[in-house]
């Protein structure tokens, strides 16, 4: 493994500018994931047909549908079927939204002979605002359009004779999102990435907040994803971490790290041990800078490989996640932070443990030549304390770290922070 990262570093330090090195690394990552997930044989896309249960469909409640995958190609299909399917729902009154159907069983490689089909179960929830005839359109498969009849989630009040005729007129777009989704068919590709929080330090000068998201670049049910399954794991991500001095009169931001990222995330490893519920591999490249000029400028670039091991007990909802991470630096700003690697290190280790519906502890360790850095986060759902009325987490963070911020990366800072998080 060490030789592998030395090879990456030598590649990145070869002649060429930042853009050339970035392209080299992207090509290297593609090669790695081609090895992890061998592509299926080139072929025409599978045809899909949806079949809902022959029972009354209740809006606002989960239901299971069957999806038939038919191989129309002249050659056999071999590979993984989509883990989720994006669908557009439209009611008779033109109300529309996007939903995602998620597979209910374990994803395993599938072989489909020419002219044959296989069936897979997915779970879906029709929004409570939908009632009556509903058209379901499977994104990427225009031939798979289905008309359903749904029962309203709540009884509709009867119009009295005293009411004017327009009183019972349907509410075409009850929310902004129902109209917004008509013009944003790709919004389903957005999801949370790193934790998102706002924390005030016991020393207010050390307050901190972070936002983070990722975007899936390829349609998982598209022809390219069917031919090359690893493309489903290609993501763009962005994380921003700001250090806020709330003790000063003007409350300035002491430093902010801007971290765009391109990474590949594998599906659950098929040959993992039975006692391991999840085994994933993530590899990526990340740029980090503080967006400042002259002597205050800091920037670096890293390439990393991170296996993710997940242990989970469904009965107790207890889980344990172990994530070792190896990284190397390239195109580091040697004018302003030449020795950043001595304070950040080349290896990290994350341990996350807790109950899915309760307390979760996350500990991050960084190992560097100048010393070890530690950050521990404790989160607990506030909804448990407020009768499910507030969807946030109570968040406590302790940090004793070198290079927590880029501006003062040589200094060790210790802080205790308290606040709220939206994603933990």
Catalytic residue list? 287, 289
Tell me: is residue 421 an annotated ligand-binding position. no
SS in 3 state form for the chain? Answer: CHHHHHHHHHHHCCCCCHHHHHHHHHHHHHHHHHHHCCCCCCCCCCEEEEECCCCCEECCCEEEEEEEEECCCCCCEEECCCCEEEEEEEECCCCEEEEEEEECCCCCCEEECCCCEEEEEEEEECCCCCCEEEEEEECCCCCCEEEEEEECCCCCCCCCCCCCHHHHCCCCCCCHHHHHHHHCCCHHHEEECCCEEEEEECCHHHEEEEEEEEEECCCCCCHHHHHCHHHHHEEEEEEEEEEECCCCCCCCEEEEEEEEEEEEECCCCCCCCCCCCEEEEEEEEEEEECCCCHHHCCEEEEEEEEEEEEEEECCCCEEEEEEEEEEEEECCCCCCCCCHHHHHCCEEEEEEEEECCCCEEEEEEEEECCEEEEEEEEEEEHHHCCCCCCCCEEEEEEEEEECCCCCCCCCEEEEEEEEEEEEC
The answer to whether 388 is annotated as binding is no
Is 267 a known ligand-binding residue? no
Binding residues for Ca(2+), as ranges, are 250, 292, 297
Binding residues, as ranges, are 250, 292, 297
């Amino acid at each position: 493994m060490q030789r592998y990262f030395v090879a990456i570093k030598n590649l990145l330090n070869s002649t060429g500018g930042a853009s050339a090195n970035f392209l080299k690394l992207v090509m290297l990552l593609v090669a790695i994931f081609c090895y992890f997930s061998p592509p299926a044989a080139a072929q025409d896309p599978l045809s899909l047909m949806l079949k809902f249960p022959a029972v009354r469909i209740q809006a606002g409640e989960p239901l299971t549908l069957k999806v038939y995958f038919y191989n129309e190609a002249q050659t056999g299909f071999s590979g993984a079927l989509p883990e989720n399917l994006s669908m557009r729902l439209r009611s008779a009154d033109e109300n529309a939204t996007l939903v995602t159907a998620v597979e209910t069983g374990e994803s395993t490689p599938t072989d489909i002979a020419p002219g044959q089909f296989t069936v897979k179960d997915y779970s879906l929830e029709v929004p409570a605002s939908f009632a009556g005839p509903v058209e379901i359109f499977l994104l990427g498969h225009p031939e798979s359009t289905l008309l359903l009849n749904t029962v309203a989630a709540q009884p509709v009040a009867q119009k009295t004779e005293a009411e004017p005729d327009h009183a019972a007129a349907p509410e075409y777009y009850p929310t902004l999102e129902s109209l917004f989704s008509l013009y944003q068919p790709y919004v389903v590709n957005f999801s949370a990435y790193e934790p998102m929080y706002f924390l005030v330090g016991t020393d207010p000068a050390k307050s901190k907040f972070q936002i983070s998201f990722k975007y899936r670049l390829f349609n998982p049910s598209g022809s390219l994803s069917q031919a090359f399954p690893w493309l489903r794991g290609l993501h763009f991500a962005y994380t921003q971490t700001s250090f806020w001095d709330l003790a000063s009169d003007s409350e300035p931001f002491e430093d902010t790290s801007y971290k765009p990222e391109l990474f590949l995330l594998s599906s659950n490893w098929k040959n993992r041990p039975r006692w391991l519920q999840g085994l994933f591999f993530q590899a990526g490249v990340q740029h980090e800078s503080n967006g400042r000029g002259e002597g205050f400028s800091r920037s670096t670039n890293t390439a990393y490989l991170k296996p993710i091991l997940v242990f989970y007990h469904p009965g107790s909802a207890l889980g344990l996640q172990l994530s070792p991470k190896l990284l190397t630096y390239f195109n580091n700003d040697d004018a302003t932070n030449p020795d950043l690697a001595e304070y950040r290190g080349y290896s990290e280790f994350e341990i996350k443990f807790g109950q899915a519906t309760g307390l979760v502890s996350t500990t991050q360790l960084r190992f560097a030549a100048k010393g070890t850095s530690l950050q521990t986060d404790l989160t607990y759902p506030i909804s448990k304390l407020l009768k499910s009325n507030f969807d946030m987490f109570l968040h406590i963070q302790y940090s004793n770290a070198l290079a927590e911020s880029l501006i003062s990366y040589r200094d060790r800072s210790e802080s205790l922070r308290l606040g709220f998080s939206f994603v933990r």
